[in-house]
Amino acid sequence: MKVLVIGSGGREHALAWSLSKSPRVNEVVCAPGNGGIAQVARLAPASQKDLNDLLRVVAAEGPDLTVVGPEAPLALGLVDELRRRGLLVFGPTRAAAMLETSKSFAKRFMQRHKVPTANYAVCTTQEEALASLDLFHLPVVIKADGLAAGKGVLICQTKKEAQEGIQGLFNGKLLGTMETSVVIEEFLEGEELSFLVLSDGKHVAPLVPAQDHKRIGEGDTGPNTGGMGVYSTDAMLDPQMRDWILHHIVQPTIDGMAAEDTPFAGVLYCGLMMTARGPMVLEYNARFGDPETQAILVRLESDLVEALEASAKGQLSDTELRWKPGASACVVAASEGYPGSYTTGHRITGLEEAAQIPGVQVFHAGTTFSEGRYLTNGGRVLAVTAAADTLENALGLAYEGIEKIHFEGMYYRRDIGHRALKNKK
Residue 400 makes CB contacts below 8 A (sequence gap 6+) with: 357, 360
Residue 133's closest CA among 179, 171, 184?
Answer: 184
pLDDT value, residue 150 = 56
Summary mean pLDDT of the chain: 95
Assign residue 221 a region (left: φ > 0; alpha: ψ between -120 and 50; beta: otherwise): beta
Looking at residue 1, what DSSP letter applies?
A: -
The CATH code for residues 327-424 is 3.90.600.10
- Compute the distance between CA of residue 103 and CA of residue 115 in angstroms, rounded to an integer: 14
Which residue, 291, 233, 325, 299, is CA-closest to 413? 291
- pLDDT tens digits along 74-109: 999 999 999 999 999 999 999 999 999 999 999 999
- What percentage of residues in the chain have a pLDDT greater than 70? 99
Using the predicted structure, report yes or no on whether residue 424 has a pLDDT greater than 70: no
Q: Where are the alpha helices (DSSP H) in 6-152?
A: 10-20, 51-61, 71-76, 78-84, 98-101, 103-112, 126-132
pLDDT in tens, 135-176: 999 999 999 887 765 567 889 999 999 999 999 999 887 777
> Does CATH number 3.30.470.20 belong to domain 189-318?
yes
CATH, domain range 2-91: 3.40.50.20
- Say yes or no to pLDDT of 258 above 70: yes
Task: Judge whether residue 180 has pLDDT over 90.
Answer: no
Please tell me the number of Cα atoms within 13 Å of 366 on its side-chain side: 21
Are residues 4 and 91 in contact, defined by beta-carbon separation less than 8 angstroms? Answer: no
Concatenating the DSSP letter of every residue in 106-145 gives: HHHHHHHTT--B--EEEESSHHHHHHHGGGSPSSEEEEES
Domain spans of the chain, in order of start: 2-91, 119-186, 189-318, 327-424
pLDDT in tens, 207-225: 999 999 999 999 999 988 8
CA–CA dist 26, 144 (Å, integer): 42
Alpha carbons 241 and 249: distance in angstroms, whole number: 11
Which residue has better confidence, 116 or 168?
116
Q: Output helix, strand, coil percentages for the chain, rounded to the nearest 5.
A: 35, 30, 40
Residues ≥6 apart with Cβ < 8 Å to 337: 343, 409
CA 188 centroid distance within chain: 21
- 355 vs 420, higher pLDDT: 355
Query: 361 - beta bridge partners?
Result: 385
Q: In terms of Cα–Cα distance, which of 124, 120, 110 is closest to 181?
A: 124
pLDDT of residue 149: 59
Contacts of 239 by beta carbon, 8 Å cutoff, 6+ apart? none
Model confidence at 20: pLDDT above 70: yes
Residue type, 290: D
Please identify, in words, the CATH class of the domain defined by 119-186: alpha beta
What is the reported pTM? Answer: 0.95
Q: How far is CA 19 from CA 22, 57, 224, 385, in A?
A: 6, 19, 30, 17
What number is the average pLDDT over the span 312-336? 96
CA distance linking residue 4 with residue 34, whole number of Å = 14
pLDDT (mean) for 396-403:
98
Give the separation between CA 168 and CA 166, rounded to whole angstroms.
5
Q: Is the pLDDT of residue 409 over 60?
A: yes
Is the pLDDT assigned to residue 272 strictly greater than 90?
Answer: yes
* Percent of the chain whose predicted confidence (pLDDT) is above 90: 90
pLDDT band at 425 (very low <50, low <70, confident <90, very high): low
Pick left, alpha or beta for residue 385 (phi over 0 → left; psi -120 to 50 → alpha; otherwise beta). beta
Give, to the nearest 10 degrees, the angle between helix 304-313 and helix 10-20: 100
How many whole angstroms separate alpha carbon 28 and alpha carbon 61?
Answer: 11
* Number of Cα atoms under 13 Å in the Cβ half of residue 300: 25
